[in-house]
Structure 1
Amino acid sequence: MSSNKRTVVIVIFRPAFAADAAPLPAENRLVVRLETLLNRNGVPHEIWRPATLGEAGDMARKASGASPIVAAAGGDGTINAVSGGLLGTECRLGILPIGSGNDIARGLRIPRKLPAAVALLADGYRLLKSDMESSGNEFTDAEFTDAESTDAESTGNESSGKKSAALIRKIDAGVFTSVNETDAASGRSRQYECHFINTLGFGFDGRVAWNASRLRFLRGKWKYLGGVLQSLLFYRATDMTITADGETYSGRYLMTTVANGPFEGGGIPVAPRADPGDGLFDLVMIHDTGVFARIPLLLRVLLFGASDSTDIRLRQCHTVRVTSSRPVMAHADGEVISRNLTEFSATIRPAQLAVIGPATP
């Protein structure tokens, strides 16, 4: 699985149904389709197939030293894992969304139809190759390491006179740290750290992610809504103290989301104004309104997104610290990361990941 030349795009392939023990023929058919599209678009490539999300992250770290572009073919969990192996490097991330929710792709305006996503990846590949060749560099290991990079490489293929449809831009990453978490197996406190590039949710949001992860027969927004319905009547809101850039908010909160991107749950605009490249979180804090008042409140958020009101507070910030009166669940980019949090924090790290996206909205 090694590539000596940096002319090959490495695709880390782990579709959403890989975790569901899907029949191998279905996965192989998707690989064949992906191979056909990559070849049709003139993208030299290797496809690596991890068995787990952890292995996907390890592969990404290895691939970042073998190619200037590593593409994640899968859902938000796969994109999160692959991005973790590329953070802080100059390796570019391509996104081929073949997952259930595809919220990361949606927030970055990457096409969610596979043929269009592959075409965008091909444009990004040609853009990077053209930019390097026009600056006198060959598309190889040694020259790429020394090549200058910018936050946005969007000039397109000048030699052909054709403007590229792709833009390579830097986006932010969030770092989650549990300060006081009870390990489910040992009962002891532990510290835990992970990254997220889209959303971190806790409380009701974490419970919904947990319930949704067990609904194997649903996909996308329907899967998230199934998790909402399971949690709606029986979830107990929690007293929390939330500190955002030094300002403290205390109360009984139903749901809190630290958003780097605007969508979660298969297209729900939980933080409509969130920009993954502005160096800021959009913090969404929803107060508890009682069991029956939750329904219209959450319906408003599901349909129109969160906006400042009596029951919802929005705040942009760089850091968030939370203390909960009782353990809560949390998810990062849709993957449940803990079921027993009482104290934790999140910090933004600007311009950590170079991503191939569309040049125009």
Structure 2
Amino acid sequence: MELHFIINSNAGNGRGIKRWEQFKQDLTLPYTTHWTQYAGHTLLIVKEITERATKQNPVCLIAVGGDGTVHEVLNGVVHFEHVYIGVIAAGSGNDFARGFETFKTGKQLEQFIKYPTRSLHDYGSALFNGTSKYFINNFGVGFDAFVAMKANESKLKKSLNRWKLGKLSYPYYVISALFTYKPFHLTILLDGKEQRFENVWFTTVSNQPYFGGGMKLSPASNTCDGTLEVTVVSNLSKWKLLFVFGSVFFAKHTGMREVHQFSMHSIQLFFEEPIMAHADGEKQKLQQHMNTIEISVHQKAWSLAK
């Protein structure tokens, strides 16, 4: 089995490098390292490696970074067989590490290489702007995407990362965005039934429970049950929205009448105007006159090294 490490040196404001330096001390098996240089570079690296994977010579890709790094790795492997994905968590939010198993030590990884075991998990795909984007944690539109963009591009997050507190940037920008963000109208088509929601703050489709650096938005989500869960938050005041984000860390938001949650295999979202979106926290934007997103689940379609 080929062993490749995809290392994001910028993850967690340099935590990717430090985590790798610690981890490699326990490694004795041969491996290849790949250092990402820019946004999208991981995707190119992964595609080149996975094209060589065969049943006789499988490939194990270990992402050393945060949720964005794992997101690009997934998007590079979804059309290839005989590929295992593993993760060494080194980001600021690390929501993937909360919902999936990760490697903590080099000895643990070497045990896997000698005696490979895996678990099969779902992922989601979102079709918009004429192309598909795949996600492993969640796909969101509206307020949470706006906050994710602000947090990821902020100097505050980089400063907090130095103290391993980068995930606190998300709650900060939740409060800040309350005063500038404008809710939207949403129509969904689910199982042939149309529903309309007014004054929607955000809609998130989840594959696993966590988002935003540990918020347990979708407690019912299971990464291998063949479904995704949709959360729509609408018709509530700014201050009650703040309460929702406070209670979501403890999954106390699910009983609120303004919070709508349901499971799905596929769903269509219709908007009246272009809107900000994110896939695993990575910024997306709908183009003009393309205000529809089609989301579906791919059941047990990728292998987690464990």
Band of TM-score, shorter chain: 0.7 to 0.9
CA deviation after TM superposition for structure 1 residue 244, in Å: 2.4
For 1:281, the equivalent position in structure 2 comes to 228
Distance 1:259 1:196 in 2: 9
Distance 1:95 1:276 in 2: 16
Unmatched tracts of structure 1, length 5 or more: 1-5, 129-152, 154-167, 179-189
Q: Classify 1:272/1:109 alpha carbon distance in 2 versus 1 (closer, same or farther; 3 Å).
A: farther
Distance 2:249 2:9 in 1: 26
Q: Classify 1:48/1:287 alpha carbon distance in 2 versus 1 (closer, same or farther; 3 Å).
A: same
For 1:126, the equivalent position in structure 2 comes to 114
For 1:349, the equivalent position in structure 2 comes to 298
CA contact (8 A) 1:70 1:91 kept: yes
Q: Classify 1:77/1:323 alpha carbon distance in 2 versus 1 (closer, same or farther; 3 Å).
A: same
Normalised by the length of structure 1, the TM-score is: 0.74
Question: How many aligned residue pairs are there?
Answer: 290
Q: Deviations over 1:210-254 (max 9, x none)?
A: 111122323442021122122123211111102223232211211
Equivalent of 1:11 in 5, 18, 40: 5
For 1:165, the equivalent position in structure 2 comes to none
Higher Rg: 1
CA contact (8 A) 1:284 1:306 kept: no
Q: Classify 1:118/1:257 alpha carbon distance in 2 versus 1 (closer, same or farther; 3 Å).
A: farther
CA deviation after TM superposition for structure 1 residue 266, in Å: 1.1
Distance 2:245 2:223 in 1: 24
Query: Is 1:35 equivalent to 2:24 in the alignment?
Result: yes
Normalised by the length of structure 2, the TM-score is: 0.86
Query: Is 1:199 equivalent to 2:191 in the alignment?
Result: no
CA contact (8 A) 1:308 1:314 kept: no
Equivalent of 2:244 in 275, 280, 297: 297
For 1:150, the equivalent position in structure 2 comes to none
Q: Classify 1:28/1:285 alpha carbon distance in 2 versus 1 (closer, same or farther; 3 Å).
A: closer
Q: Classify 1:267/1:53 alpha carbon distance in 2 versus 1 (closer, same or farther; 3 Å).
A: same
Distance 2:257 2:235 in 1: 11
CA deviation after TM superposition for structure 1 residue 86, in Å: 1.7
Q: Classify 1:87/1:203 alpha carbon distance in 2 versus 1 (closer, same or farther; 3 Å).
A: same
Q: Deviations over 1:175-218 (max 9, x none)?
A: 1111xxxxxxxxxxx43321101100111111111111122323
For 1:315, the equivalent position in structure 2 comes to 262
Query: Is 1:213 equivalent to 2:182 in the alignment?
Result: no
Secondary structure of the residue aligned to 2:159 is coil
CA deviation after TM superposition for structure 1 residue 267, in Å: 1.0
CA contact (8 A) 1:270 1:305 kept: no
CA contact (8 A) 2:66 2:92 kept: yes
Distance 2:123 2:7 in 1: 22
Matches within 5 A, 1:97-136: 97-110=89-102, 116-128=104-116
For 1:173, the equivalent position in structure 2 comes to 123
For 2:74, the equivalent position in structure 1 comes to 83
For 2:175, the equivalent position in structure 1 comes to 229
How many percent of aligned residue pairs carry the same amino acid? Answer: 23
Matches within 5 A, 1:150-189: 153=117, 168-178=118-128
Unmatched tracts of structure 2, length 5 or more: none
Q: Which amino acid aligns with 1:245?
A: D
For 1:186, the equivalent position in structure 2 comes to none
Distance 1:214 1:170 in 2: 33
Q: Deviations over 1:27-73 (max 9, x none)?
A: 76554333213x2xx44311111212422112112222255211111
For 1:52, the equivalent position in structure 2 comes to 38
CA RMSD in angstroms, aligned pairs only: 2.3
Q: Which amino acid aligns with 1:237?
A: P
Distance 2:92 2:177 in 1: 20
Q: Which amino acid aligns with 1:325?
A: E
Distance 2:88 2:268 in 1: 33
For 1:144, the equivalent position in structure 2 comes to none
